[in-house]
Structure 1
Amino acid sequence: MKIIIITPKFFPILSGNAVCTRRIEIGLKKLGHEVLVRTPHQINIKEIKTFLPDVIHGLNAYQSRVVQKLSLELKIPYIITLTGSDYEECLIDSVKYEKGLDKDGVKEITLNVMKGASYLVVYNHETMKRLLSLYPKFDNKMKIIAKGVPIIDHGNYSFREENFIDTHDFVFSLVSGIRPVKNNFCPIDSLGLLRKKYEKIVLTLVGPVADEEYDKELREKIKGLDWIRYVGGIPIENMRSVFLESDVILNCSHFEGESNAVIEAMYYGRPLLASKVNGNIPLIEDGVTGLLFEPENGDLFSKKAQDMIVDGAFREQLGKNAMEKSLQFINIHEPENYENLYLLSMN
């Protein structure tokens, strides 16, 4: 089978969609399929017609909406994986998503792409239930395919050494793209106050820039704060070191579809301090497989961050529980699940 995957971002840019696409691509190729990956800006219709795909797979209904046009031109079906911002921002909250396009226009485009898809994929039951309560007409085409085994690469990169972090420092790492929904400002003031008592605290900001204006504000905020390391985006082969050499992994998002960073942190047995939002709640049991806080509650964040600092045995147990939990929900059959869905859509 020949599959073309359309994704908003792809390597070398490291983003959630890029990581998911790469994982799916690797899995499908192992099954013997030919896979062509392109972003919407890389679409070359001549190249695609030469490739002769059997099916199109789009990640994010709004950002990869070009799949609908391709489907009509090539006369082949498409499926959509709903990744988070496409339903949270475009459908549920209906906030402005793109300059010059109002929220009603964004919502209409997103729904139209979803209507044209043979199947819609979500990552978990909670998301399916939530979406179908609002859009029951998609019941017959919505399927659950949980995320697969994280991409593991054993490179020689040393996260602490490369970022001048001492072995005795206590490292909180916020692993996420830099954009408003990821709430990158969240830990700065709270950890800054805690640092008066625990001077070994270091905060690292790991992830690519997805919003230039927001990034400028963030850089201005942390200017002169030598306990914060602005790491930015790094190659996927170095991410294992980020997780293993951090004491606590942070997720401060206002919403999540299902965070790759959260899943990977759990897979590597790292303690998590994460925002109590829809995408995180199914993965993290507060006090058992991680700690949860409301994104706007700085005091609660500080209290739970302090709990992490002072109790090493507690951190270790959280990480151990997280690893065990991750093995229950990580989907070892992700490539086969997509393969079956492609075949169904073609029939």
Structure 2
Amino acid sequence: MHILLLSLLEPYTGNATTARRIAGYLQSHGHTVTLLDTRKASADSVRTMIEGSNIDAVLGIHALGAGRLLFDLPIPTVIIFGGTDLNEHARNPRDLQTMTEAVEHACALVAFTEDARQRAENLWPECKQKIRVIPQGVLTHPSAFSLRKAIGLRDDDILFLLPAGLRPVKDPLMLVEEIAQWHRENPRVHLVIIGADRDPTYAQKCRHIAMALPGIQILPPIPADDLHAAMKESNAILNSSHSEGLCNTLLEAMHVGTPVLARDIPGNRALVAHRETGMLFATPEEFSACAMQLRNDSVLRTHIITSARKMVETEYAPDREAEAYAKLFSELSW
């Protein structure tokens, strides 16, 4: 089968990581996969590609970003829900209408978590039977890169790492004042934010604020293997998003053995059980309390690291994800 995979393919984004991983699975099961960046596509160009390249099916990641391109196609379509489509864009009536047309036309729908499945069912109850849950697989390959050496930190400095694109939904500024104050009290404490400028105006604001605060750095994105290495030598990986589907970076952090501290939102609760596979916080003050517990309680830290890695290796194994997508396309009918 020749599958057209539609996704945001901007480097260093979660959607791009997911798209390339799933494409690899499908290719390993004998399918031909053509990747197309949704930023560079229109409904007409997709239809033209389908007609000229003998495409048999289309897989789109994100019900709005890809869904807007999937109306009335003459071949089977599958939509994978992201995070912002269900959590943010569904609040906009025009976006919701666009997603509704795509979802109703699709042959199959995929959610990463049970929470996402429930959200989708609430939005489109008539499509309930088409939705299946396929948890993301996680792959990490830490390189020899050292973030500590690159920015001049000592081995005993406390490094919090927040991998996130600079855009409002990721709220990378949530913890900067809290950690800057911690740095004033203990200069060994540092926060490094690594991510692409997804919203140029907002990114400029982030950099302006970070430059004025001690102990806070914002760095451009780095290759995945280097990011995995940076995660491995960090004291904790942070997530402060307003909204998430299933956060790749939290999965990757768990896989390399670094504890995660995540904002208490539905997408993160689907992955992080408080004091079991990570720690959840709702406010900057709660973050500090959680971080101090992790720092001072080695038994708790070891328990979280061990439990999280076991969960990822069993529930988010790449082989399980690969088989699930292979099964989906083998059952696809029109």
Q: TM-score, normalised by structure 2?
A: 0.92
How far apart in 1 are the matches of 2:17 and 2:305? 22
Alignment match of 1:200 (pick from 159, 168, 188): 188
Instruction: Establish whether residue 343 from structure 1 lines up as the match of residue 321 from structure 2.
Output: no
Residue 64 of structure 1 is matched in structure 2 by 66
**1:151-162 paired onto structure 2 within 5 Å:** 152-162=140-150
How far apart in 2 are the matches of 1:160 and 1:196? 20
Residue 99 of structure 1 is matched in structure 2 by none
**1:186-265 paired onto structure 2 within 5 Å:** 186-265=174-253
8 Å contact 1:249–1:265 — kept in the other structure? yes
Residue 330 of structure 1 is matched in structure 2 by 316
Question: What's the offset of the Cα at 1:48?
Answer: 4.9
| DSSP 3-state at the match of 1:9 | coil
Residue 128 of structure 2 is matched in structure 1 by 139
The CA deviation string for residues 95-133 of structure 1, in whole angstroms up to 9 with x for no partner, is xxxxxxxx2111111111111111110012222123323
Compared with structure 1, are the counterparts of its residues 39 and 274 closer, same or farther at alpha carbon in structure 2 (3 Å cutoff)? same
Residue 9 of structure 1 is matched in structure 2 by 9
Residue 30 of structure 2 is matched in structure 1 by 32
**1:37-52 paired onto structure 2 within 5 Å:** 37-43=35-41, 44-45=45-46, 48-52=50-54
Cα RMSD of the aligned pairs, angstroms, is: 1.8
Question: What's the offset of the Cα at 1:226?
Answer: 4.8
Higher helix share: 2
Give the % identical residues: 26
Question: What's the offset of the Cα at 1:272?
Answer: 1.0
Alignment match of 1:320 (pick from 306, 309, 313): 306
Question: What's the offset of the Cα at 1:78?
Answer: 0.7
How far apart in 2 are the matches of 1:166 and 1:25? 40
The CA deviation string for residues 119-165 of structure 1, in whole angstroms up to 9 with x for no partner, is 11001222212332343211111111111132x33433222222322
Residue 290 of structure 2 is matched in structure 1 by 304
| DSSP 3-state at the match of 1:279 | helix
**In terms of mean alpha carbon deviation, does 308-317 or 171-180 score higher?**
308-317
Question: What's the offset of the Cα at 1:247?
Answer: 0.6
Compared with structure 1, are the counterparts of its residues 293 and 111 closer, same or farther at alpha carbon in structure 2 (3 Å cutoff)? same
8 Å contact 2:86–2:119 — kept in the other structure? no
Q: For structure 2, which runs of at least 5 residues remain unmatched after alignment?
A: none
The CA deviation string for residues 311-342 of structure 1, in whole angstroms up to 9 with x for no partner, is 34432332122111212320422122222222
How far apart in 1 are the matches of 2:82 and 2:30? 26
How far apart in 2 are the matches of 1:66 and 1:138? 18
How far apart in 2 are the matches of 1:20 and 1:300? 31
Instruction: Establish whether residue 124 from structure 1 lines up as the match of residue 113 from structure 2.
Output: yes
Q: TM-score, normalised by structure 1?
A: 0.89
Compared with structure 1, are the counterparts of its residues 5 and 129 closer, same or farther at alpha carbon in structure 2 (3 Å cutoff)? same
8 Å contact 1:56–1:67 — kept in the other structure? no
Q: For structure 1, which runs of at least 5 residues remain unmatched after alignment?
A: 95-102
